[in-house]
Amino acid sequence: MLVLVTGVLGGAYAAARIPLPDEVVNPQTSVLTYSDGKTELARVFAENRTEVPLSQVPVPVRNAVLAAENRAFYRDPGFDPKGITRALWNNVRGRDTQGGSTITQQYVKNAYLTQERTYTRKLKELVIAIKLDRQYTKDQILEWYLNTIYFGRGAYGIEAASQTYFGRSVSTLTVAEGAVLAAIIRSPARYDPQTHPDRARARWAFVLDGMVSEHWLSAADRAVLTFPDVLPRDTGPRNQLAGPRGYVVQQVREELARLGIDEGELNRAGLRVTTTLDRDAQAAAVAAVDQVFAGQPDNLRQALVAINPADGGVLAYYGGQSGTGFDYAQAWRAPGSSFKPYVLATALEQSLNGRRLDEVGRVSVYSRFDGTSPRDFGGVSVHNAGDAQCPRCTVLEAMKRSINTVFYDLAIQVGPDNVAALAHRMGVADRRTDNDSPTLQVGGVTDGSIGIGRYEVRPIDQATGFATIASGGVSHPTHFVRRVTDSQGNVLYDATRDSPDRPTRVLDPRVANDVTYSMEPVARWSNDELADDRPSAAKTGTQQLGETEENQDAWMVGFTPQVSTAVWVGTDHNEPLRTADNRIIFGAGLPGQTWKVFMDTWLADQPRLDLTDRTDIEGSRPRFTPPSNTPVPSPTGSPQPSPTPSPTPSGSPTTAEPTPTGPSGSPTGPSRSPIPLPDPTGTVSPGPDPIPIPTIGTGTDRGDGGVG
Tell me the CATH number at 576: 3.40.710.10
533 and 600 part of one domain: yes
Top-confidence range, 240-249, 323-332, 675-684: 323-332
Q: What is the pLDDT of residue 668?
A: 32
Q: What is the pLDDT of residue 322?
A: 85
Give the domain CATH number at 153: 1.10.3810.10
22 and 133 part of one domain: yes
State the average pLDDT over residues 644-668.
33
Q: Specify whether the CB–CB gap between 672 and 574 falls below 8 A.
A: yes
Q: Please give the span between the terminal C-alpha atoms of the chain, in angstroms, as a whole number.
A: 73
In a domain? residue 268: no
34/37 Cα distance (integer angstroms): 6
Using 50, 70 and 90 to split pLDDT, how confident is the model at 212?
Answer: very high
In a domain? residue 242: no
Structure-model confidence comparison of residues 285 and 154, the more confident one = 285
| DSSP-assigned beta bridge partners for residue 541 | 555
317/460 Cα distance (integer angstroms): 9
| pLDDT reading at 682 higher than 70 | no
Sequential DSSP letters for 351-368: HHTT--BTTTBS--TT-E
Q: Specify whether the CB–CB gap between 708 and 655 falls below 8 A.
A: yes
In a domain? residue 270: no
For 365, phi then psi, to 5°, come to -70, -10
Task: Give the active site residue among 30, 35, 47, 69.
Answer: 69
353 and 422 part of one domain: yes
Give the range of the structural domain holding residue 320, as residue numbers without chain letter: 285-472+507-622+629-702
| pLDDT reading at 663 higher than 60 | no
Q: Specify whether the CB–CB gap between 568 and 555 falls below 8 A.
A: yes
Q: What is the pLDDT of residue 402?
A: 95
State the average pLDDT over residues 39-46.
82
26/268 Cα distance (integer angstroms): 7
Q: What is the pLDDT of residue 267?
A: 79
Q: What is the pLDDT of residue 224?
A: 96
Name the domain count of the chain: 2
In a domain? residue 660: yes
403/384 Cα distance (integer angstroms): 6
List all residues 6 or more positions away from 584 whose beta carbon is below 8 Å from its beta carbon: 549, 550, 551, 576, 577, 578, 705, 706
Q: Looking at residue 162, what DSSP letter applies? A: H
Q: Specify whether the CB–CB gap between 380 and 698 falls below 8 A.
A: yes
262/280 Cα distance (integer angstroms): 29
| pLDDT reading at 22 higher than 50 | yes
Strands 30-33 and 272-275: parallel
173/164 Cα distance (integer angstroms): 13
61 and 190 part of one domain: yes
In a domain? residue 557: yes
Strands 272-275 and 659-661: unpaired
Q: Which of 193, 214, 233 is the last residue of a domain?
A: 233
Q: Is 337 a catalytic residue?
A: yes
State the average pLDDT over residues 470-483.
97
In a domain? residue 410: yes
Composition of the chain by helix, strand, coil, percent to 5:
35, 15, 45
Q: Specify whether the CB–CB gap between 316 and 306 falls below 8 A.
A: yes
Q: What is the pLDDT of residue 685?
A: 27
In a domain? residue 492: no
425 and 562 part of one domain: yes
For 122, phi then psi, to 5°, come to -60, -35
What percent of the chain is modeled with pLDDT above 90? 59
197 and 289 part of one domain: no
156 and 18 part of one domain: yes
In a domain? residue 502: no
579 and 443 part of one domain: yes
Helices assigned H by DSSP within 449-506:
459-470, 495-498
Q: What is the pLDDT of residue 156?
A: 85
30/46 Cα distance (integer angstroms): 10
CA angle, residues 283, 289, 293, in degrees to nearest 5: 150
Q: What is the pLDDT of residue 342?
A: 98
Q: Looking at residue 301, what DSSP letter applies? A: E
Helix H or strand E encompassing 418:
helix 416-426
127/133 Cα distance (integer angstroms): 10
Task: Give the active site residue among 337, 338, 364, 381.
Answer: 337
Nearest to 626 by CA among 351, 369, 365: 369
List all residues 6 or more positions away from 23 whose beta carbon is below 8 Å from its beta carbon: 111
615 and 691 part of one domain: yes
Q: Which of 189, 214, 233 is the last residue of a domain?
A: 233
Q: What is the pLDDT of residue 688?
A: 27
Least confident span in 22-36, 55-69, 158-172, 214-228: 22-36
Distances 386 to 103, 183, 403, 589, 656 between C-alpha atoms, Å: 64, 51, 10, 17, 8
Q: Is 69 a catalytic residue?
A: yes
59 and 168 part of one domain: yes
| Helices and strands per DSSP (H, E), number in the chain | 22, 22
Q: What is the pLDDT of residue 371?
A: 96
349 and 437 part of one domain: yes
What is this structure's pTM?
A: 0.74
Residue 235, number of CB atoms within 10 A of its CB: 15
List all residues 6 or more positions away from 416 whose beta carbon is below 8 Å from its beta carbon: 446, 447, 448, 450, 451
Using 50, 70 and 90 to split pLDDT, how confident is the model at 664?
Answer: very low
Q: Specify whether the CB–CB gap between 569 and 554 falls below 8 A.
A: yes
Q: What is the pLDDT of residue 602?
A: 97
Q: What is the pLDDT of residue 640?
A: 33
Residue 681, number of CB atoms within 10 A of its CB: 8
Q: Which of 170, 201, 233 is the last residue of a domain?
A: 233
214 and 327 part of one domain: no
